[in-house]
């Protein structure tokens, strides 16, 4: 594995790979790697000749009062994990490398962001779309790999690639979970022992919702109310428990087609998110 820090270096190296006709799988991350990230690397390794990973805690996607400074970082450990996972090129730029003193253009995401995390984290997805546009230009990926735990991010990246005619295949990868169901996340380290136990309620609530749908419930309000009921038993504060079409993220009067059940709960030092995507086949639609 080689590690590089500058835009020029990564562009030179990925241009060479392209000229050699090699496919490039790109895994953008903010580091503090866990099994969720490594599952993206594993898939990228399987699908491509070259695997590029970036580790960059992107200041632009953190709002005022969010955890940019405190975001967990451990570059030594990450380097080791990336190498063991089969990453060929690790890109670890400094903030000054990614953002010049004055930016001329910043991405502005117009759809799929007025709900869920986009609603409570104003400007977050503009920051994500900006840094990803830069990183995609640098890494020249054939395929990009994103975890479905951040399903709204996947929906935004889907729109970004489509709207800007990027010749990139988006590969969403299933959420990796602990044995008790909690989704792997860099922020899980912020949970106290008792919160860690309570946090299993998120996936329990989602599974309950999925079960109610499979039993035939088609009213989103009923499903949301029951999910909230489960989350309310924790000491956390519910940020949202919502259901929207996926990936468009539009409200639904009746559950049909492909949709997301998504939850976010704020514990004392960590805000956890999780979701489940469900697709009701056409032949199971309610009679009109």
Residues carrying an active site annotation: 37
User: What distance, in Å, lies between the first and last C-alpha atoms of the chain?
Assistant: 57
Q: Determine whether the annotation assigns residue 176 to a binding site.
A: yes
Grouping H, G, I as helix, E, B as strand and the rest as coil, residue 130 is: helix
Please list the residues that pair with 100 across neighbouring strands. none
Binding ligand PAF (rule: CB under 6 A), the pick from 61, 130, 142, 185 is 61
How many beta carbons lie within 10 A of that of residue 107, not counting itself? 18
CB of 66 to ligand PAF, least distance (A): 12
**30 scored as a contact of ligand PAF (CB under 6 A):** yes
Residue ranges with strand state E in 73-120? 89-91
Rounded Cα gap, residues 130 and 107, in angstroms: 5
# binding residues, ligand PAF (CB under 6 A):
10
Binding ligand PAF (rule: CB under 6 A), the pick from 17, 24, 28, 130 is 28
For residue 203, give the H/E element and its range.
Answer: helix 200-214
Touching ligand PAF, residues 99-158 (CB under 6 A) = 128, 131-132, 150, 153
- Cα distances (angstroms) measured from residue 37 to each of 40, 118, 288: 5, 22, 43
User: Considering only 7-15, 28-36, 236-244, 277-285, which stretch makes contact with ligand PAF by CB under 6 A?
Assistant: 28-36
Q: Which is nearer to ligand PAF, 77 or 225 (CB)?
A: 77
**29 scored as a contact of ligand PAF (CB under 6 A):** yes
Q: Determine whether the annotation assigns residue 148 to a binding site.
A: yes
> 271-286 in b/e burial notation, b at 16+ Cβ within 10 A?
bbbbbbbbebeeeeee
Q: In whole angstroms, how large is the CA radius of gyration of the chain? A: 19
CB of 49 to ligand PAF, least distance (A): 22
Q: Determine whether the annotation assigns residue 208 to a binding site.
A: no
Question: In the structure encoding, which two tokens stand for residue 41, read together?
Answer: 């690397």
Q: Which is nearer to ligand PAF, 113 or 234 (CB)?
A: 113
> Which residue positions form the known binding site?
30-37, 61, 147-150, 153, 176, 184-187
Indicate the annotated binding residues for ATP. 30-37, 147-150, 176, 184-187
Contact positions toward ligand PAF, by CB under 6 A?
28-30, 58, 61, 128, 131-132, 150, 153
């Amino acid at each position: 594995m080689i590690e590089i820090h500058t835009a020029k270096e990564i562009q030179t190296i990925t241009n060479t790979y392209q000229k050699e006709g090699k496919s490039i799988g790109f895994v953008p991350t903010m580091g503090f790697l866990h099994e969720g990230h490594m599952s993206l690397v594993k898939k990228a390794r399987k699908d491509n000749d070259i695997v590029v990973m970036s580790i960059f805690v992107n200041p632009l996607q953190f709002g005022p009062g969010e955890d940019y400074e405190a975001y967990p970082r451990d570059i030594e450990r990450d380097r080791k994990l990336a190498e063991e996972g089969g990453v060929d090129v690790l890109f670890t730029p400094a903030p000054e490398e990614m953002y010049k003193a004055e930016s001329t253009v910043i991405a502005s995401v117009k759809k799929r962001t007025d709900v869920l995390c986009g609603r409570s984290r104003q400007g977050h997805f503009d920051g994500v779309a900006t840094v990803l546009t830069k990183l995609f230009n640098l890494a020249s990926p054939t395929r990009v790999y994103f975890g479905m735990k951040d399903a709204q991010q996947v929906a935004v990246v889907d729109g970004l690639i489509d709207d800007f005619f990027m010749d990139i295949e988006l590969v969403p990868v299933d959420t990796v979970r602990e044995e008790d169901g909690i989704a792997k996340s860099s922020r899980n380290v912020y949970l106290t022992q008792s919160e860690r136990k309570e946090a299993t309620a998120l996936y329990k609530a989602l599974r309950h919702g999925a079960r109610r749908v499979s039993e035939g419930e088609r009213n989103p309000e009923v499903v949301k109310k029951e999910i909230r009921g489960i989350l309310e038993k924790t000491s956390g504060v519910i940020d949202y428990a919502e259901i929207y079409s996926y990936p468009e993220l539009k409200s639904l009067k009746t559950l049909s087609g492909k949709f997301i059940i998504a939850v976010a709960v704020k514990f004392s030092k960590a805000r956890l998110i999780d979701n489940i995507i469900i697709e009701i086949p056409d032949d199971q639609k309610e009679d009109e």
